[in-house]
Amino acid sequence: MNKRNKYNYAFRLRCVEAVLKDNRSVSEVARGGGFEGSNLRLWIGFYQRYGRSGLVSGGKQHFDASFKLRVLKAIDAECLSLREACVRFNIRSESAIINWRKAYESKGPQGLIAKPKDDR
């Protein structure tokens, strides 16, 4: 299994439903599944906001600079956590937002513009 899609849709759904429908704790389900509770909390957020389709892995996401800036400004203005921002803006990875923040702080808005990959 590749790292990017380690947990398939059926597994994610079972875990989310174990918490929401079977009243099991996040830590219990995560420990039993061999993953971090933070992953499960994120899956629960997507499920609650988007339903079952929120658990479908859509592949690599691409965002333009204006969207990235809008996310960063919303985080600051509304004191959103990374998890809240991911769920609200349908961003699958908290680390993406962390990277956007670093790029913005070091290079300003120009840091949010995607750079083409080298064809090496």
Asked whether residue 51 is assigned to any structural domain, the reply reads: yes
Structure tokens of 98? 């962390």
In the chain, the number of structural domains is 2
Same domain for 50 and 71: no
Asked whether residue 88 is assigned to any structural domain, the reply reads: yes
Which residues, including other chains, have CB under 8 Å from residue 4's CB and lie 6 or more apart?
57, 60
**Per-residue DSSP letters for 53-87?**
GGGS--------HHHHHHHHHHHHHHT--HHHHHH
> Can you give the residue range of the structural domain that contains 83?
65-112
Average pLDDT, whole number, for the chain? 91
Per-residue confidence (pLDDT) for residue 2, from 0 to 100? 43
Same domain for 108 and 86: yes
Same domain for 51 and 70: no
Res. 115: pLDDT tops 90: no
Asked whether residue 117 is assigned to any structural domain, the reply reads: no
- Identify each DSSP E strand in the chain by its residue range: none
Rounded CA-CA distance 11/74 in Å is 32
pTM for the full model?
0.81
- Degrees (nearest 5) of the Cα angle 9, 14, 47? 65
Asked whether residue 96 is assigned to any structural domain, the reply reads: yes
The per-residue pLDDT for range 7-25, each reduced to its tens digit, is 899 999 999 999 999 999 9
Per-residue confidence (pLDDT) for residue 45, from 0 to 100? 96
